[in-house]
Every structure is written in C-alpha cells, then in structure tokens.
Amino acid sequence: MAAVQELAERAKMDTLYIDTDSGADDESATGAESKPYKSLAHAYIQHGGSEGKQYRSRASKTGPVSADGDPAERLVWKEPAKSAVKKAQGALDAYKKKVLKQQQQAAQEEEKEKSRLKTLEDAKKIVITEDPSLPKAAKITIGDKNVELGEGDAKGTRVKVSGRIHRLREQKQATFLTLIDGYGHLQCVLAGDLTKTYDALTFAQGTSLSVYGEMRKVLAGQQAPDNRELHVDYYKVLGRSPSDAEAITNRVSKEQDQWESSMLDNRHLVLRGDTASSVMKVRSAVEWAFAKAYREMKFTKISPPAFVQTQVEGGSTLFELDYYGEKTYLTQSSQLYLETGLPSLGNVYCIEKSFRAEKSLTRRHLSEYTHVEAELDFIDFEDLLDHLEEVISKVCTTILADPEIAGYIKELNPEFKAPSRPFKRMRYSDAIDWLNAQDPPILNEEGNPHVFGDDIAEAAERRMTDIINLPILLTHFPVEIKAFYMKKEDTDRRVTESVDVLMPGVGEIVGGSMRMDDYEELMEAYKREGISPKEYYWYTEQRKYGTSPHGGYGLGLERFIAWICKQHSVRTCCLYPRFMGRCKP
Ligand code: 4AD
C-alpha cells in the first residue's frame, strides 16, 4: 500500500529535486526536496522527462561557492545545466526504446508460444498407424548387422528396433534420429506425417521408442553408422524425455569434464554418453579378457569374503564396521585368502571389490575399486614377472582382436598399442639413481634428492613412467616400505622380491610379490609390524602344513582401464565412483 501511495505521490509531483552529491538513484529517493535523486537522467526516467515537470539541481558538497566564498551557495536549488538536460533526455529516449523493444519481444514470445501450443494441439489429431500391407517387421537390435540393406530398387529388410534418441536433427523435409540401444548407433529417417505427430514434435534426447521401417544403405557420399539408415514407416513412443530446461542436454554437457562434481551427481545421465558408455564397454571386455586369460592358463576362480578381520595393506586405510558386535573390516585385498586356495586348487584368481579408506583425493585413488588378484604356486620371482607380462599382453591381445572393442579404444585412445614384451625391468635402487640423474633431478616429497628407503611418491613415479614411456616392472623395494608378507631377496636382505607394474599416463597399476614362506620369518614380520598373529592363524598355518614358494599380485582394474582408455582419472573408469566425500548416487 505504501508503495502504491508513493507512486501516486510521485505522479502528482511537478518539481523534482536532484542532488548530485547526496541524492540517490534507488528506492530511498522520491525526487522530493527531502529525498532528492542523484542524477537528472534517473529523475527523467522515473517521471517521464520534462513535460509538465520542473527539475531543480544542486551539488551540495562540491558545487561552486558564492563570489564571497559562502558555501551556503551550494545548497541553493538551480535549473539543471543544459548539457545535463540533454544527457538526461538521451537517457530517457534510450530507456523508452528499450522498454518498447522488450514489450515487442514479449508479445512475439507470447504469439510464438500460442502458436506452438496450437501446433501441438493440432498435432494430437495426427494419428499414425502401421500399414498392414507391409512385410512383418523382424525384431532386431542395432548390433544385428545381418540385415538386408535396400539399395536402388532392391528392398531391404523391414525391421523393428527399440532404443532411445541419442541425437535429433529436424530438417524441413525430414527428421533424422540417431538411436542407441546399447549395441550401436542407428540413423533413422522420418518424413511426412511421421514428423508431424505430437510425439514427433516432442522428441528429445532420451525419448524411448520402437521404430519400424526398411533398412537401406546410405546414399553414396553420405555418412551414417554402419553405412545404413532406417527409413521409418511407423513408430511407437514408449517413454517421453523432457525437452525443456530439464532436458538431458541441459543437465550434462560434453564440454564439462566427467570427473567434476556436478557431472558425477548426474552420472546416471553421463553414462548415456558415447565416451562414458565406451569406457564401460571396454571395461566389460577387459574383465572378460582376464577371465579368458586365466582360464587359458588353468587358474581357478574363487570368491573370497569382503567382511574380514585381518588387514593386508596397513591399518591406515581400513574401513571398520560393527559386525554383530565384533570389530570387522571391509577387505583391502583378497590376497591372503587366495593363498589358502593354492594347495587344492592350484593357481587361483579373483576379481572382487577391495576397499581403501584413502584420505587423499588423487586421480588414481578410489575408496572402492575392482581388484584383479592372482596367486601362483611353486614359482620363483622371475616366473612371477614373466607371468605378469603374459597376462597383461594376453588381455591386450584379446580386447584388440574384438573389432567393436578395438573401435571404442581407437576413439578413446588412438595411440593405444599392446605393449611389446619383454617389459622394461628396473630395480628400485636403479630407479632412485635414475630420478637423481635427471636434469633437474626429480625430487622426493620433501623436496630433496631421493635416497634408498624413500617411498617413490605418486608424482615422481608418474614422471618417471611418462619420460620412459614404456611399461616398467619396478622391482626389489626396501623391506620397510612394503607389506609384512613380502619375501626378502636372498642376496640382499634389505629388499623384497616385490614388483610394481608402472604404465605411462597412470603409474602403478599392479602391486605384487613373492610371499614369505617360512613360518618363523612370518611370525617375526607380524612382530615388526605390530600385528597380532592370533587373527592370522589360518594364513600362518599355510607355512605349517606344507609350505611352498609362491607369489601373486593385485591389479587395479580402474587404473588398467584408465591406461587403455586414456582417462585422466580412475573416477570415470567405474560405474559410480566412490572416493572420499562421495558415496552417491
Ligand atoms: O599395491 P596394493 O596395495 O597391493 C595389494 O593390495 C596386494 N595385497 C595385492 C596382491 O598382491 N594380491 O594394490 C594393488 C593394486 C595397485 O597397484 C593399484 O592398481 C590398485 O590395486 N589400488 C587401487 N586402485 C584404486 N584405488 C585405490 N585406492 C587403490 N589402492 C590400490
């Protein structure tokens, strides 16, 4: 009410006051003598210019003083200067123009919206039906390539394909849809009434539908996935997808990096994109390739538990939980359980989740990751290194032999090649020398040259791997920086028979070693690490009931995928990444 009154008052006012020093151009001013404006232009805009109005102006602090130096002169209201009037009139004219344009635009928008709604309303009257005289459509997926393609006068197979709109291009004569169904991309062409229905006018990325029509070869010079397109004669929309502000294209963007927080919040939508889905396809193929390689090498797959009461890789990264009142952890590694499979099953492997309460946010650490682990019996360290090369090479060969998977890899990482054997082998002590020999030397985390015993930090390790640019089997780490169960080298008891596999772009993807096979030595190791041997009786007893020289390793599947698919972070190499601060969606 007060505001309405004020406006009415304002309209009645015929003399408006401007104080360029103490006035205000916001709601605190009304133009009254007691509440002057700051600028004449503002006053003109508020009161519609000079018609029927008088304006009085002053600069109460900086205005000219009288000839005899009296500052009271500044408080006298005077006619505004001509130049100020001209400027104010200019501002008013521009303002009126702007308002007019806005009104015209709003009217146009309103018209457009009305016409859009009418078109949509009219479109509801257009009903399409399947022509019963056409051949019965064969139900296929986009992956089915054994379909007759029409060309010239020759007819192609009439098919039914169900999928979702991935891309949409509306042209005057036809609407082009790229459909996805998880098995490929299919270009569909719609014309005539098919483009005019309510459904067609509300097509959006994500809309699910079944399309029916003849499969034809694309015309020479045109491009489409698999060189074919579906000439649609009928379709049924199964589920609409929003085309407004809620549209998928407004929720996620190709330009944003997938490991960024808002993209991870929308991971369910990001997964519909070509990059994310290609990485997931490669991942699936890699898991299968590991299973195939192990089967060829006669390993038995076992499935150790996730709830455990022993640690493997140090207490600091254990997720602890209450298990019916008992202190329990989520497993860090299935290694100890794998070792118990050796006596009766022979070499064993598993592909299971491992959990690490990593308190740092790096691009290669997750809290939950997929761990490919294997354990080999009656081997020596050389056998373990050879086996690692073999399994990695076999997996690469398998995935590259699959044209679909090789195609995804080519898109994601055009330079990717299976590594050639033998891999470069390097002892830890030589790596220390190598780091120090660089110009300038690659320093440790404290900013000093590396010394024997330093844990080679992630950054230094990655720089080394990137410079050498080859897979490296880095071996013989010092006892102090490795896990309690690792066997010491016979000839240098300061180091373990341990190996990390390092890959360019990622760094460590595998950690492995020969295991201590002597009972007493293992008991000593528990003591050294402050581990209570009681909970480990089942592990220790492997050394009591017929011990053997054995070893194994764990490979981080997400890191392996990051290497193959050239992903910046392991976060985009799993379906829904878990890391410090993120346990959703
Ligand atoms: O080197 P790690 O800690 O070794 C072990 O757990 C052994 N017990 C495995 C074994 O011998 N069976 O981990 C092995 C691999 C690492 O090289 C890395 O690829 C991956 O597991 N890894 C992680 N990946 C993602 N996020 C993490 N937080 C990871 N921690 C380890």
* Ligand 1 touching residue 351 (CB < 6 A): no
Q: Using the predicted structure, report yes or no on whether residue 7 has a pLDDT greater than 90.
A: no
* Ligand 1 touching residue 371 (CB < 6 A): yes
Q: In the prediction, which pLDDT does 114 show?
A: 92
Select the more confidently predicted residue: 462 or 387.
387
Q: What is the mean pLDDT of residues 233-239?
A: 97
CATH superfamily of 138-248: Nucleic acid-binding proteins (2.40.50.140)
Atom nearest to 510 CA in ligand 1: 17
Q: In the prediction, which pLDDT does 183 show?
A: 96
> What dotted CATH number matches 274-573?
3.30.930.10
Query: What's the pLDDT band for 262 if we cut at 50, 70, 90?
Result: confident
List the residue whose alpha carbon is closest to atom 7 of ligand 1.
554
Q: Using the predicted structure, report yes or no on whether residue 87 has a pLDDT greater than 70.
A: yes
Of residues 399, 435, 443, the one with CA closest to residue 418: 399
Q: Using the predicted structure, report yes or no on whether residue 82 has a pLDDT greater than 70.
A: yes
Q: What is the mean pLDDT of residues 27-53?
A: 92
Rounded Cα gap, residues 6 and 497, in angstroms:
87
Taking residue 481's Cβ as centre, other Cβ atoms within 10 Å add up to 13
Q: Which of 308, 338, 371, 385 to mutate to test the pocket of ligand 1 (most atoms within 8 A of CB)?
A: 371
Q: What is the mean pLDDT of residues 472-482?
A: 95
Tokens matching residue 368: 């939950």
Q: What percent of the chain has pLDDT over 90?
A: 87
* Ligand 1 touching residue 552 (CB < 6 A): yes
Same fold, 2-97 and 138-248: no
Q: What is the mean pLDDT of residues 25-46?
A: 93
Q: In the prediction, which pLDDT does 257 show?
A: 81
Question: What single string gives the DSSP state of each residue in 368-432?
Answer: EEEEEEEEEES--HHHHHHHHHHHHHHHHHHHHHSHHHHHHHHHH-TT--PPPSSPEEEEHHHHH
CATH superfamily of 2-97: asparaginyl-tRNA synthetase, N-terminal domain (3.30.1910.20)
Query: What's the pLDDT band for 368 if we cut at 50, 70, 90?
Result: very high
Helix%, strand%, coil% for the chain, nearest 5: 35, 25, 40
Select the more confidently predicted residue: 253 or 108.
108
Q: Using the predicted structure, report yes or no on whether residue 191 has a pLDDT greater than 50.
A: yes
Q: In the prediction, which pLDDT does 12 show?
A: 73
pTM of the model: 0.84
Domain ranges of the chain: 2-97, 138-248, 274-573
* Ligand 1 touching residue 313 (CB < 6 A): yes
Q: What is the mean pLDDT of residues 346-352?
A: 98
Q: How far apart are the first and last CA of the chain?
A: 49
Q: What percent of the chain has pLDDT over 70?
A: 98
Question: What single string gives the DSSP state of each residue in 221-266?
Answer: T---GGGEEEEEEEEEEEE----STTSHHHHS-TTS-TTSHHHHHT
Q: Which amino acid is at 45?
A: I
List the residue whose alpha carbon is closest to atom 24 of ligand 1.
556
DSSP SS3 for 144? coil
Q: In the prediction, which pLDDT does 10 show?
A: 65
Q: Which of 259, 308, 311, 313 to mutate to test the pocket of ligand 1 (most atoms within 8 A of CB)?
A: 313
Count of alpha carbons within 13 Å of 142, Cβ hemisphere only? 25
- Are 342 and 304 in contact, with CB atoms under 8 Å apart? no
Rounded Cα gap, residues 341 and 476, in angstroms:
26
* Ligand 1 touching residue 80 (CB < 6 A): no
Q: In the prediction, which pLDDT does 6 show?
A: 57
- What's the chain's average pLDDT? 94
Q: What is the mean pLDDT of residues 147-156?
A: 94
Residue 296 CA, ligand 1 centroid: distance in Å: 24
List the residue whose alpha carbon is closest to atom 16 of ligand 1.
510
Q: Using the predicted structure, report yes or no on whether residue 475 has a pLDDT greater than 60.
A: yes
Q: In the prediction, which pLDDT does 2 show?
A: 55
Q: What is the tens place of the pLDDT at every residue in 306-338?
A: 999 998 998 889 999 999 999 999 999 999 999
* Dihedral sign for Cα atoms in the order 419, 424, 429, 432: negative
Note the Cα 441 to chain centre separation in Å. Answer: 34
Q: Using the predicted structure, report yes or no on whether residue 1 has a pLDDT greater than 50.
A: no
Select the more confidently predicted residue: 116 or 254.
116
Q: In the prediction, which pLDDT does 308 show?
A: 97
Q: In the prediction, which pLDDT does 11 show?
A: 65
Q: In the prediction, which pLDDT does 9 show?
A: 64
